[in-house]
Structure 1
Amino acid sequence: MSSAYDVLVLGGSGVDTIVYVPELPLPYADSYMIRPGIETRAGQTGDFVALGLSSLGLRTHHIDMIGDDPSGDLIRAFHRDRAIDFTEVLLPGGTKRAVNLVGPDGRRLSLYDDSRSHESDRLPEDTVRKLAAASRHAHVSITYPCAHALPLLHEAGLTVSTDLHNWDGENPYHEAFAYGSDLVFVSTTALPDPEATMRRVLERGRAEAVVATAGAEGSYLLTRGADAPVHVPAVTPNGPVVDSNGAGDAYASGFLFGRLAGESFERCALYGAVAGAYACTVPATGSDAIDRTALLAEVAALTGGDA
């Protein structure tokens, strides 16, 4: 029996306020005149993964907790306008928010409001079970509700992926996600020894592969049984780099697209690199993702016609 959805995305909904700054780090001053301005828009990690997957033609369903507030309305509109199926659960503390400072070179600094989510937050088990039964794969954000949903996803027999973002390799909070996922993404930003962390995830968990993303340096892929990580170079964007926000989410979407199509891990990493490069050309105030035709065309150009 075929599944209704290719990917069930859990968690990661929120609203960002984008502030363009003249440089990062931002020197102290009494005030700055900001151009092109300050704008609030829907879209955090789960929203952008869902967008990336849907743009690549994968049947995607997103479930998360959001508030009954204007920020929640932005998230509802984000999914409705892009025809992404969305199951919302009330978050008593209100919709999650962040402020992103974006420099002229596209680098960003995110300030997350940590007051809106609590350890007691839960996604309804019956709802998660029903959606899991209708899906091929699950991608989970590292939030409290998703940690409690992991056993339900395993029970349903789904493969699971997660993004640990800027994990330092030591914080125990991330371990349930790191060791409970079949595919793990992590940034090298805070890792003192990326390869050691990648190996530990493979040794202690269920992952088949760990991907460490390193921005302009590309990414590193370590699969179970491999002698060493494989370096996958970054792809040069086809336009000016204006913002790195969402590049990691785009990378994960491209990688998952390849994996669900049965591609090798290295080909999946190339898909991820192409999708991530495209995301860097999208202004922080916008929400756009590469589509399947453009992705495959660029991969074909990079590999001499072998898409």
Structure 2
Amino acid sequence: MTAPATDVIAIGNAIVDVMAPAQDADIERLGLAKGGMTLVDADRARELYDAMGPAREISGGSAANTLAGLAALGATCGFIGQVAQDQLGEVFAHDIRAGGIAFATPARESEPPTARCLIFVTPDGQRTMNTFLGASQFLPAEALDEAVIADAAVLYLEGYLWDPEEPRKAMRRAIAAARTAGRKVAFTLSDAFVIARHGDDFRALIEAGQIDILFANEHELAALTGIADFHEGIASLAAKVPTVVVTRSEKGAHAVSGSEQAHVPAEPIEQVVDTTGAGDLFAAGFLFGHVRGRSLEDCLRLGAICAAEVISHYGARPEADLKQLVAARMG
């Protein structure tokens, strides 16, 4: 097998995040599920946007955020995702390419518009996300360059994008291309609501040995396995997935890879400002360590450092120099 030309290629939602501060009373008044992610239609997206205070527009999307962290750490990356030919589509394409990430998916000419996520951030740092998937849910399998996927060390897939039928087919095709080439497939469960809708699919992928690295938080772990006890739940997955990584917010993170286990505490920070992207940047740090051949514990520490950086400010992409931050924390 030839050495990969790219460290990580990811498939995910191409979304622009629209973020604004909010009070708990606003969350209740608008009938939102605090701290969760809800899919909304175009009308609800317009209603929530009109209800927002002054907002910031920042390119986002879970897998794209992970790649932004990976690129900042020095990894070579590529992204596959669908935007429309509109202003937000141009913003997304510019931002991801400016971060040094290859992005060649042609923009969609017809409706709907580019996806956006309307995020209300309360004073406790919790983010309440309302996502209009727009063009991102129409990523066709024909948009994949299987040679590019086969030439990446890791294919990273975003669970959120499993919901629409068209990109789900594209992701299955990408998994087949990666596995045929002998590459690794990493998958993030994204949210408990995704598991509620597609848990049978995910469990089937796991049973078939299609996933090499699985990312989850402890709530998603319980939803996927049906096991309330954390350690029992992770053990049940570790018997089927080569590497299982579970984040536990302020309790740190745990990983199992074969007979090896590792745990790291959460990195200390002065204040949690916005938890948007915490899991995405954790995955970035972990995958960076993985493609560089670092130990399981080092991979977890890299993830914790990156997650701590992103929750210290608004937005789901790093603002500090991650290379310098990692050098200072890990030596």
TM-score by length of 1: 0.83
Which deviates the most, 7-16 or 150-159?
7-16
Query: Sequence identity, in percent?
Result: 22
Separation in 2, partners of 1:68, 1:33: 26
Q: Which amino acid aligns with 1:202?
A: A
Say whether 1:216 aligns with 2:250. Answer: yes
- Picking from 53, 57, 61, the partner of 2:78 is 61
Q: Distance in 2 between matches of 1:201 and 1:53?
A: 26
Contact 2:20/2:52, CA 8 A, preserved across alignment: yes
The answer to whether 1:112 aligns with 2:131 is: yes
Task: Map residues 21-170 of structure 1 onto 2, 5 A cutoff.
Answer: 21-23=22-24, 26-28=27-29, 37-91=54-108, 93-114=112-133, 116=135, 118=137, 121-124=139-142, 127-142=144-159, 143=161, 144=168, 145-167=170-192
Point out the more displaced range, 185-194 or 281-290.
281-290
SS at match of 1:283: coil
Structure 1 residue 224: deviation in Å?
2.3
Name the TM-score, length of structure 2 as normaliser.
Answer: 0.78
Q: Distance in 2 between matches of 1:27 and 1:230?
A: 39
Equivalent of 1:261, from 268, 292, 296? 292
Q: Which residues of structure 2 form unaligned runs of 5+? A: 32-47, 162-167, 223-227
Structure 1 residue 173, shift from structure 2 partner: 3.6
Instruction: Tell me, yes or no, if the aligned pair for 1:162 and 1:181 is still in contact at 8 Å.
Output: yes
Conserved in 2, the CA contact under 8 Å of 1:49 and 1:252? yes
SS at match of 2:141: coil
Deviation by residue 1:147-199 (Cα, 9 ceiling, x = unmatched) = 33211111121112121122476622433565522111101234244444433
Secondary structure at the residue paired with 1:248?
helix
Alpha-carbon separation, structure 2, partners of 1:8 and 1:24: 40
SS in 1 for 2:325: helix
> Aligned partners of 2:262 and 2:322: how far apart in 1?
26
Q: Could you say what secondary structure the match of 1:18 adopts?
A: strand
Change (3 A) 1:146 1:95: farther
Query: Structure 2 vs 1, CA of residues 216 and 7 (structure 1 numbering), >3 Å: closer, same or farther?
Result: same
Aligned length in residues: 292
Q: Cα distance, 1:2 vs. partner?
A: 4.3
Q: Secondary structure at the match of 2:279?
A: helix
Name the CA shift for 1:231/1:285 in 2 (closer, same or farther; >3 Å): closer
3-state SS of paired residue (1:198): helix
> Which AA in structure 2 matches 1:41?
I
What does residue range 5-20 of structure 1 map to in structure 2 within 5 Å?
Answer: 5-20=6-21
- The structure in which a higher percent of residues are helix is 2
Note the 1:278-289 alignment, pairs <5 A. Answer: 278-284=309-315, 288=319
Among candidates 262, 265, 274, match of residue 233 of structure 1:
265
Distance 2:264 2:26 in 1: 29
Counterpart CA distance in 2 for 1:290 and 1:123 is 35
**Counterpart-to-counterpart distance in 1, 2:229 and 2:87:** 42
1:186 maps to 216
